[in-house]
Amino acid sequence: MQIGPYKLSSPFVLAPMAGVTDKPFRALCRRFGAGMTTSEMTTADTSLWQTAKSRRRLDLDLDAEPVAVQIAGSEPEQLAIAAQAVVDRGAQIVDINMGCPAKKVCKKLAGSALLKDERLVRDILTAVVAAVDVPVTLKIRTGWDLEHRNGATIARIAEDAGVQALAVHGRTRACRYRGDAEFETIARIKETIDIPVIANGDIETVEKSLEVLHLTNADGLMIGRGAQGQPWIFRELINGLNAEPKKPPVAKKELRDIMLGHLNELHRFYGEQAGVRVARKHLTWYCDKLAGADDYRYQAVRVESASEQIRLTQEFFGGPKQNNKRRSTQGTEEQKAALQAH
């Protein structure tokens, strides 16, 4: 899949998710083969960028091409200024969020609320494309509600404005995350435009991903919740796309190294106090895929120190690790042979 001058290494990309896809998690997913990762959604109001949260969200992956940043807002001029600002910081792709269904976003007429106003959508996209000389991409839903599925119309507006790729979550704003994703609607949108279309929604297994690619004829898939607690899903997706024999689950030693490396990066990136708090949700997601992890999870999400989270993780996997520095997530052949179910 190609977005402007950038040919992605795989058609599987990580969905930007506020509070989840921070710099450590993006790096982890890229090591497993994500073709592109995008920053957490950032407000287009640059006057708010001085907070600690915004500074971390704008700590970009300058060593990972293409560097993609997602912005959200409802005022064309403000979004254009924000796009210029993130490009100045190193962004190589600017993504505009018109898909977030959160009430606090939509009540400001941003995110998926914009789908109600097609003229404003056109004005925003035209202004941002004109403001920067890097590719502009767009994330949408299939429409505002089940009676107003205007995703195909928005897609044509986007293509006409110069947007170079479109990600579509297969639900309306009103559906939020309820019900099944509308892959047939994504297929119709794909037929409507010539720019790359990336399908999103309910893609949590290799089998489902291949089915969605077939049903939608999409150029790529955007993985969101399916990557939580299993960032190795990108490696599995690539293997499935290449029709390689199904490989065994992640080995015990490799999983230990993934989790310990992730914890260390979170503690380093946020500092100990905040890092321990942020790590709790990631540990919970890992444990959802682990058998016999209830006691470990109960303790690991309650401790207050980084050393205790590390110690509990080491003990859960059968003893201390020789080295807590970040390791390659690819694992050795010996590790791959030692099987453990997710």
> Quick check: 333 pLDDT over 60?
no
> Quick check: 324 pLDDT over 70?
no
The residues that bridge with 140 in the sheet, in sequence order, are 98, 168
Residue 137: CA count within 13 A, CB half-sphere? 28
Residue 145's pLDDT band, with cuts at 50, 70 and 90, is low
161 or 319: which leads in pLDDT = 161
> Does the model's pTM come out above 0.75?
yes
Q: Which residue has the tokens 């490009």?
A: 87
Catalytic residue list contains 100: yes
Q: What does the pLDDT read at residue 320?
A: 58
User: Which residue is catalytic, options 29, 100, 106, 287?
Assistant: 100
SS3 63: coil
Q: What is the pLDDT of residues 264-306, one digit of tens each?
A: 999 999 999 999 999 999 999 999 989 899 999 999 999 999 9
- Burial class (CB within 10 angstroms; exposed 0-12, middle 13-18, buried 19+) of 203: buried
Residue 177's pLDDT band, with cuts at 50, 70 and 90, is low
Q: What is the pLDDT of residues 180-195, one digit of tens each?
A: 778 899 999 999 999 9
Q: In angstroms, rounded to a whole number, what is the distance separating the alpha carbons of residues 101 and 201?
A: 13
Which sequence spans correspond to the domains of the chain?
Answer: 2-241, 252-337
Query: Helices 76-88 and 118-131: crossing angle, nearest 10°?
Result: 30
Q: What is the pLDDT of residues 28-37, one digit of tens each?
A: 999 999 999 9
Is the Cβ–Cβ distance between 86 and 58 less than 8 Å?
yes
Phi, psi of 12 (to 5 degrees): -105, 120
CATH fold label, 2-241: TIM Barrel (3.20.20)
